[in-house]
Amino acid sequence: MSTEHGYAVSIQWTGNRGEGTATYRSYGRDHRIVAAGKSHEIEGSSDRTFRGDAERWNPEELVVAALSQCHLLSYLHVAASNGLVVVDYRDEASGTLKQQGEGGRLIEATLRPRVTLAAHHSDEDARRAAHLHERASELCFIANSVSFPVAHEPVTLIAGAQEAPRL
């Protein structure tokens, strides 16, 4: 059975400095992203390299964040379904944009999830937990939607154990 879900956002450009897009340098890249029912908007811009505001989120960061967030949610699901109790999850994700002429594309992303299991888990549980990242990746809607590779460099720890990574 196939089910479809819709998602709608509104974008409003806020970078008109009085001249509109009269020249490449005359306009700001600032914009707001809003969605019905959300209590906060996202302040966006282009990457600083492309004359954007470095203090605002750029589209490339949002794609990497979406990949990381989707993997987190998929991983928590598969961990719970497999009887593993995750007590902490952090990720230091990154992505690479390759510019070609006036265009470009994201060419890769790497997720670095650092998962901590509850203290009652064993080293064998930590090994199982590390392997569950493959299943989480298979289930991640966003990873299944991009046309570039998404690598995973997971670290699995057990709460209360020494900080040496356990796989």
Domains and CATH numbers, the chain: 1-57 (no CATH), 59-158 (3.30.300.20)
Pairwise CA distance, residues 50 & 80, whole Å: 42
Interatomic CA distance for residues 60 and 47, integer angstroms: 8
Distance, in Å, from the CA atom of 54 to the CA atom of 140, rounded to the nearest integer, reads: 29
Q: In the prediction, which pLDDT does 166 show?
A: 46
Tens-of-pLDDT digits for all 167 residues of the chain? 889 888 889 989 899 999 888 888 889 999 999 999 999 999 999 889 889 999 999 999 999 999 999 999 999 999 999 999 999 999 999 999 999 988 899 999 999 999 999 999 999 999 999 999 999 999 999 999 999 999 999 999 999 986 555 45
| Nearest of 113, 38, 45 to residue 79 by alpha carbon | 113
pLDDT given at position 1? 82
Instruction: For residue 127, give the nearest of 92, 87, 82, 88 by alpha carbon.
Output: 82
User: The pTM is what?
Assistant: 0.88
pLDDT at 24: 86
Distance CA 139, CA 167 (A): 21
Nearest to 113 by CA among 91, 86, 95, 136: 91
